[in-house]
Amino acid sequence: MSRVSLEGQVAVVTGAARGVGELLARKLSARGAKVALVGLEPDELERVCARLHSESDHWHADVTDHAAMAKVAQEVKARFGKVDIVVANAGVATGGPFVDSDPEAWRRVIEVNLIGSAVTARAFLPVLTESRGYLLQVASLAAITPAPMMTAYCASKSGVEAYAHSLRAEVGHQGVRVGVAYLSWTDTDMVRGADQDDVMRELRQRLPWPANKTYPLGPAVDRLVAGIERRSSHVYGQWWLRGMQGVRGYLPTLVGTVGQREMRRFAPRLRGMRTGLVGAGGVADEQHRTTVRN
């Protein structure tokens, strides 16, 4: 599919304070798009906003909050006059054995990654229908293959993949295109946060090539931008992820067999693992929820 110029288009990016969201906002802005940043860290969002090349603004909102996101959609439309692109990127992660996991953190991963994506789409679909726009749902390698110690993250990313594929069929006749983006381990605060745990880092390093590498952020985001320009149904942040689609049916059996062996190897080291949200984004989410509760 030919590329669509981003000049003058209005793009909304959730989880825009750091990582994939921040760099994506910068690259969209560099191509002439007006960018609306959404996230939980107003100071960081303001910092990102100040570095953009085009007209931009930022909104502090929890993507799991229906009322807040509906208000953001209304205000973005009022601010820029339209919305052409929405990237549902906000996400958090936790790792560790399921049986010992923090139930609140486990649930929060599902809430932010899956429910938050649906809330984002529900809020912005009316304006995307008006513009015959594009919704890009950021998923993960975790949607293609299961992984031990990542039950919440894999469940949430498998969920958003299935949800986005279903939504594509519903809204396509209205001119709205829906894409799913897949990323492997990419150099972000989230991945660096997970690597702070020795077991999680070593388990990942024992994965077969090329899944055992951490990939630079820039090229991955460039692929996302190209996918947005093409309004692609599938976007792959690393070249080899496309090939994983053809073998994904075999992966649960393979992971189940190999994973048991690896878990037996690491079993003595699993006690006492921290199972809360990882990375700076996880810290921000926990601080937000504490503030709301108080």
Residues annotated as catalytic are 153
Exposure letters 218-250 (e unless 16+ CB within 10 A, then b): eebbebbbebbbbbbeebbbbeebeebeeeeee
Amino acid occupying residue 23: L
Question: What Cα–Cα distance (Å) separates residue 276 from each residue in 72, 94, 105, 282?
Answer: 29, 6, 5, 8
Look at residue 181 and give its three-state secondary structure: strand
Half-sphere exposure of 103 toward its Cβ, with a 13 Å CA cutoff?
0
Look at residue 135 and give its three-state secondary structure: strand
Give the strand pairing for 34-39 and 56-60: parallel
**CA dist., res. 29 & res. 6, Å (int):** 9
Look at residue 53 and give its three-state secondary structure: coil
**DSSP label at 137?**
E
Contact assessment for residue 149 and residue 203, using Cβ atoms and an 8 Å cutoff: yes
Dihedral angle of Cα 271, 272, 278, 283, to the nearest 10 degrees: 160
Alpha helices in the chain (DSSP H): 19-30, 42-50, 66-80, 103-110, 116-131, 141-144, 151-171, 189-195, 198-205, 217-230, 241-244, 251-266, 279-293
What are residue 58's DSSP bridge partners? 37
60 phi, psi to nearest 5 deg: -90, 115
**CA dist., res. 14 & res. 88, Å (int):** 6
